[in-house]
Amino acid sequence: MAEPGLFDTDDSDGSGPPAAHGGAPLAVRMRPQSLDEIVGQQHLLTSGSPLRRLIDGSGAASVLLYGPPGTGKTTMASLISSATGRRFEALSALSSGVKEVRGVIDMARRRLTQGRQTVLFIDEVHRFSKTQQDALLDAVENRIVLLVAATTENPSFSVVAPLLSRSLVLQLKSLDDNDIRQVLTRATTDPRGLAGAVSIADDALDHLVALGGGDARRALTALEAAADAATADERDVVELSDVERAVDRAAVRYDRNGDQHYDVISAFIKSIRGSDVDAALHYLARMIVAGEDPRFIARRLVVHASEDIGMADPTALQTATAAAQAVQLIGMPEAKLALAQATIHLATAPKSSGVVAAIGAAIADVHAGKATAVPPHLRDGHYTPAEQIGVSDSRVASPPGQGYRYPHDDPGGVLPQQYPPDELIGVDYYEPTDHGFEREIGPRVARLRDIVRRR
């Protein structure tokens, strides 16, 4: 019941996924067939590690492989299944339901009576409903199947707790540029790949690495298309123009690990801060085309929403956070729309550094030692009886919480009362500007301070 297309093969005896046929895509043909061919993920493959034992055939725990696309999740499943000749079954959460899951489990149970264990690989397990995931629990717990599930979503939020507790969660990392370069170079010479039919010009290789963006499958797909373009013109060298023509992207001078990386993101943020929406969109486009990690861009937008806009437009943080969530949920290329929307919102929003100044001043006072006792009436008096902590002693002015005035008892919802420690009475940390929403907040803050601090 293996899902067609997952491995592009025809398994004759069911003993693990066999090698891909010659007509399969380059990314499938170049899938590692041994530990020695795996690029990256060395943090998971050290001697004695759970994943290493599984691939060596000595492990028995089900695993959830969590990581970005193109980092080797399917490859790991292939190697685990072939380590000891286990039967391999693959399902895709996009097209399989409870019926298919139970069918695989029933076959696995029958095989187990014959002494053969089944490896069940489920791609995109986060797309399974709770009912579908629950259908796996008994089989995983009783080791009727060895589950290898792959997900690009954080399993803490996308996988049901019972299944999570029965599996090892192993996080794969995006491949770095050197990893992608190694994958591409191997693919040009390996008999399973291009078998030396073409070579790659240095600038073309650099562009392919950037286009990969940590995703080996994406990089290999681009290489295959570029190699086809070169051979169609009866040339044996893949040039930059072949890559550009194949993937319809212009080369961008951008090194994700060098000065350009920092220069472009700096210009991006400064353009937003300076309210130049067009320049901000230009730098965003440069990062997107060059294959910058969209999560990195989203994180900078979230920080900027509080750092340079803050309460001048409180919805800016909501927009930036929503864009970051969209990046996680749908990925690229569609997530570029959410990033662009957030960029436009932040660039056109009124600006204020009030949040940065307020928390900076407060932290500076704490570092300076201005963190004396909390006023007695603000202390917690709910859980520990006063006599147990000595407040019945005549030397203690009052038990915790005594004297606290409940603001909701006042019709206006605000009462005069001391909140800061004694040495910080009257200190103002937050200073609203007259930009955007802070124009309304400023007078309100002044009125609130006047009421609260009134003696």
Whether 30 and 157 share a structural domain: yes
Is 128 in contact with 91 (CB distance < 8 Å)? Answer: no
User: How big is the chain, counted in residues?
Assistant: 455
The tens digit of pLDDT for each residue in 148-206 reads 888 877 787 778 888 888 888 888 887 888 889 999 999 999 999 999 999 999 989 98
CB burial readout 109-124, b (16+ within 10 A) else e: eebbeeeebbbbbbbb
Quote the longest CA-to-CA distance of the chain. Answer: 98
Residue 361 resides in a domain:
no
Residue 275 located in a structural domain: yes
54 and 121 in one domain?
yes
Alpha carbons within 13 angstroms on the beta-carbon side of residue 358 total 15
Confidence of residue 306 (pLDDT cuts 50, 70, 90): very high
Of the candidates 247, 279, 306, which is a domain's last residue?
247
Please report the pLDDT score of residue 114 as a whole number. 84
Instruction: Report how many domains make up the chain.
Output: 4
Domain for residue 191, yes or no? yes
**Dihedral sign, CA of 49, 51, 53, 56?**
negative
- Tell me, what CATH number does 40's domain have? 3.40.50.300
> Among positive and negative, which fits the CA dihedral 343, 344, 345, 351?
positive
Same domain flag for 119 and 197: no
Structure tokens at 221: 């797909």
Q: What is the CATH number of the domain that holds 312?
A: 1.20.272.10
**What gap in Å lies between CA 221 and CA 64, rounded to an integer?**
26
Amino acid at the residue 92: S
Cα separation, 207 vs 200, in Å, equals 11
Given this model, what pLDDT does residue 260 score? 61
**What is the C-alpha to C-alpha distance for residues 280 and 296, in angstroms, rounded to an integer?**
15
Both 167 and 182 in a single domain?
A: no
**Any alpha helices (H) in 159-293, and if so which ranges?**
161-165, 177-189, 202-212, 216-232, 240-247, 259-273, 277-289
Shared domain check, 51 and 124: yes
Q: Residue 393's pLDDT is what?
A: 40
In sequence order, what are the residues at sequence separation of 6 or more whose Cβ sits closer than 8 angstroms to the Cβ of residue 431? 354, 357, 358
CA–CA separation, 85 and 15 (whole Å): 5
Do 147 and 14 form a contact (C-beta atoms < 8 A)?
no
CA 312 to chain centre: 29
Where is average pLDDT lowest: 245-259, 332-346, 363-377? 245-259
> Is residue 166 located within the same domain as residue 271?
no
Contact 346, 271 (CB under 8 A): no
Query: Which has the minimum average pLDDT: 32-46, 314-328, 370-384?
Result: 370-384
Same domain, 185 and 56: no
Express as a percent the part of the chain with pLDDT over 70.
85
What value does the mean pLDDT take over residues 325-354? 90
Give 18-56 pLDDT, tens digit per residue.
Answer: 455 557 888 888 888 877 788 887 777 777 777 777 776
pLDDT, position 381: 65
Q: Is the pLDDT of residue 300 over 80?
A: yes
Q: 181 and 165 in one domain?
A: no
pLDDT at 7: 33
Q: Is residue 148 part of a domain?
A: yes
Burial of 333 (0-12, 13-18, 19+ CB in 10 A): exposed
Domain that holds residue 335: 259-348
Q: Where is the domain boundary, 146, 171, 196?
A: 171
Quick one: average pLDDT of 230-258?
Answer: 75
Q: How confident is the model at residue 343 (pLDDT cuts 50, 70, 90)?
A: very high
Instruction: Evaluate the omega torsion of the peptide bond into residue 162 and state whether it is cis, within 30 degrees of 0.
Output: no
Which CATH number does the domain housing residue 213 bear?
1.10.8.60
**Coil, strand or helix at 214:** coil
Res 157: pLDDT? 76
Domain co-membership, 202 together with 229:
yes
Asked if the structure places residue 2 within a domain, the reply is no
- Range ranked top by mean pLDDT from 32-46, 210-224, 341-355, 395-409: 341-355
Give the contacts of 200 (CB within 8 A, at least 6 positions apart): 184, 185, 188, 208, 223, 237, 238
Same domain, residue pair 71 and 142: yes
Give SS3 for 28.
helix
Q: Would residue 97 count as lying in a domain?
A: yes
The interaxial angle of helices 294-304 and 259-273, nearest 10 deg, is 40
Question: pLDDT band at 450, cuts 50/70/90?
Answer: confident
Q: From edge to edge, which strands make up the β-sheet containing 168-171?
A: 87-92, 118-123, 145-151, 63-66, 168-171
Say whether both 332 and 446 belong to one domain: no
Cα 390 from chain centroid (whole Å): 50
Domain stops at, among 154, 171, 188: 171
Residue 348's nearest CA partner among 279, 428, 276, 449 is 276
Q: Rounded distance, CA 434 to CA 345, Å?
A: 19
Residue 17 and residue 120 in contact, taking contact as beta carbons nearer than 8 Å: no
Same domain (yes/no): 311, 428:
no
**125-130: average pLDDT:** 82
Does residue 91 surpass a pLDDT of 90?
Answer: no
- The CATH number of whichever domain residue 417 belongs to comes to 1.10.3710
pLDDT tens for residues 218-229? Answer: 889 889 989 998
Instruction: Report if residue 353 sits inside a domain.
Output: no
